[in-house]
Amino acid sequence: MATDQPQSDGAPSETYSEFATRVKRIANVSNAAGILQWDQEVVMPDEGTPARAQQLSTLSSISHELLTADETGELLEELESAALTDEQAAVVREVRRRYDRETSVPQELVEEISETTANAHPTWKQAKAEDDFETFAPTLEKLVELKREYAHHIDPDADPYEVLFSDYEPYIDLETAEGVLERLRDELVPLIDAIDESDAELTTDAFAGEFDDDDQETLARDVLDSLGYDWSRGRLDTAPHPFSSGTQFDARVTTRFEEDDLLGSITSTIHEFGHANYTLGLPDEGYGTPLGEARDLSVHESQSRLWENHIGRSRPFWEQFLPTARGRFPGLEDVTSEDAYEAANQVHDDNLIRVEADELTYHLHIVIRFEIERDLIAGDLAVKDVPEVWNDKYEEYLGVRPETDAEGCLQDIHWSHGSFGYFPTYSLGSVLAAQLYAAAEDELGGLDARIREGEFDDLNGWLRENVHQHGKQYTTQELIERATGEELTADHFLEYVTAKYGELYDLEV
């Protein structure tokens, strides 16, 4: 990076260096907070919360203060009128964007949102446990109001939902995202209907049984070994809600084990590997600046889904990996790789729960949330009407109506975090995963054969070269175009699922 910094135009070596020092400081504080969060989820004793909450709040306010300080603004202005390398300009662009957003929202509002969401979490949890939407409704109303206010501060002229969406996905415009979601809805609904009407009977019980936690952990390590996880820069632990976090020097995976869900622990481990593997592919020398940070949520999710779905749910993967699984669980000896492949790819159109959804219906869960939260933020839908609208949409898109709000509109945690605009990035991630996988197949050829050999180096090399190593140097759309030669498109995802599920369910495609 920055090997050819021009010295013309009063070149700002010193200014840039001062700026970079400040940016790295902020990154170090945030990365320290990341370790504290990992610790809290994975190893912290139960009663550690009061101190941990204060530590995290302090780190968060310090990094906010460092970012929004006048000095940051002055350095940005100076650098924006100076000659910079492309890499430097990218760092300035990214920091400018964060600076503008964080300085435009009054600190009191940030704190009110933070306090409201802190209290919203237990309220949501209780409402879900008691299946009582009315308990949560006032909080949800308050959060909708606060987040609209927040969006207004950032850009009073923009659609507030678009502003919120861009918190998670700054470089894909909402129109593009909406277009993708509409296409998914329009093309997946008939595909799922066709599957529902198909006579094909997939093996459902390949992974039925009880599986010991310790053996599941051993197998999860086998999976990570076989995908090429770098243990010298990572580790595997368990957490109630699996996640991956860290930096290019230390990107950790968590997973969870349930006695009756071996397949779930394998796919979840592969998913989190995809996230960690992206982080590990960021350039070491970029640590501390946006050049060493992952592009945003959609790209991150593309990496987890590429590994989870295009590899972990593929036929050649099970041909290669099943013998290892049989080695750990002799009870699987009669399961064939075809059984395993079918078990990993069943479509359940009567499932109400997003996190248990298959590769196809998943996106209808997302579309429903997207349509509802967009209308909520626009003021076109009242909070009190959410449960009915939710249930109507499930009936319309998936042909199944939730009987309770607990398995309906209260199922997900996101709104209690005030995270409106987050859900679409899940579907964008799947779509981009398919687009990247198709581009890698075009360039490398024979990916199936490599997977069947347990040979992932070439694919991972391609991802490193075309995605990981660039950090945030390019905007998301630039990154996608450079890697795949085209703009973000749902074409490849739809081709992939049509072919895969057409074959699995004997559809006439």
Residues annotated in the binding site, as ranges?
Answer: 271, 275, 301
Q: Which of 162, 169, 217, 250 binds its own copies (CB under 8 A)?
A: 250
DSSP 247: E
Map the footprint of its own copies across residues 226-245, applying CB under 8 A: 230-235
Interface with its own copies includes 45 (CB under 8 A)? yes
Q: In the structure encoding, which two tokens stand for residue 422, read together?
A: 């987050």
Residue among 352, 349, 351, 348 nearest 406 (CA): 352
Q: Which of 9, 39, 186, 503 binds its own copies (CB under 8 A)?
A: 39
By beta-carbon proximity to its own copies, the closer residue of 24 and 326 is 24
Q: Is 345 helix (H, G, I), strand (E, B) or coil?
A: coil
What would the x/- binding string for its own copies be over residues 190 to 229, using CB under 8 A? ----------------------------------------
By beta-carbon proximity to its own copies, the closer residue of 59 and 75 is 59
Tell me the C-alpha distance between 186 and 177, whole Å. 14
**Does residue 383 contact residue 141 with C-beta atoms inside 8 Å?**
yes
Q: Which of 20, 23, 31, 72 binds its own copies (CB under 8 A)?
A: 31
Interface with its own copies includes 156 (CB under 8 A)? no
By beta-carbon proximity to its own copies, the closer residue of 33 and 368 is 33
* Active site (annotated) includes residue 285: no
Ramachandran category for residue 211: left, alpha or beta (phi over 0 → left; psi -120 to 50 → alpha)? beta
Annotated binding residues for Zn(2+), written as ranges, equal 271, 275, 301
Both ends of the chain: CA-CA distance in Å? 48
Q: In the structure encoding, which two tokens stand for residue 497, read together?
A: 């699922």
By beta-carbon proximity to its own copies, the closer residue of 108 and 205 is 108
Interface with its own copies includes 444 (CB under 8 A)? no
Name, in order, each residue with C-beta under 8 angstroms of 362's C-beta and a sequence gap of 6 or more. Answer: 354, 426, 427, 430
What Cα–Cα distance (Å) separates residue 411 from each residue in 130, 267, 304? 12, 21, 22
Residue among 69, 39, 66, 62 nearest 52 (CA): 39
Interface with its own copies includes 29 (CB under 8 A)? yes
Interface with its own copies includes 249 (CB under 8 A)? yes
What Cα–Cα distance (Å) separates residue 222 from each residue in 328, 339, 452? 10, 20, 16
Q: In the structure encoding, which two tokens stand for residue 41, read together?
A: 């989820």
Which of these ranges, 99-107, 138-146, 280-288, 293-301, lies near its own copies under the rule CB under 8 A? 280-288
Map the footprint of its own copies across residues 5-24, applying CB under 8 A: 24
What would the x/- binding string for its own copies be over residues 52 to 91, using CB under 8 A? x-xx-xxx--x-----------------------------
Name, in order, each residue with C-beta under 8 angstroms of 89's C-beta and a sequence gap of 6 or more. Answer: none
By beta-carbon proximity to its own copies, the closer residue of 81 and 107 is 107
Q: Which of 25, 183, 221, 354 binds its own copies (CB under 8 A)?
A: 25
Identity (one letter) of the amino acid at 128? Answer: K
Q: Taking the CA atoms of 427, 431, 436 and 438 in sequence, report the sign of the dihedral they define.
A: positive
Residue among 194, 195, 207, 185 nearest 427 (CA): 185
Of the residues 87, 94, 272, 293, only one is catalytic, namely 272
CB of residue 70 to its own copies, shortest distance in Å: 16
- The contact set with its own copies (CB under 8 A) reads 24-25, 28-29, 31-33, 35-36, 39, 43-52, 54-55, 57-59, 62, 230-235, 247-250, 252, 284, 287-288
Active site residues: 272
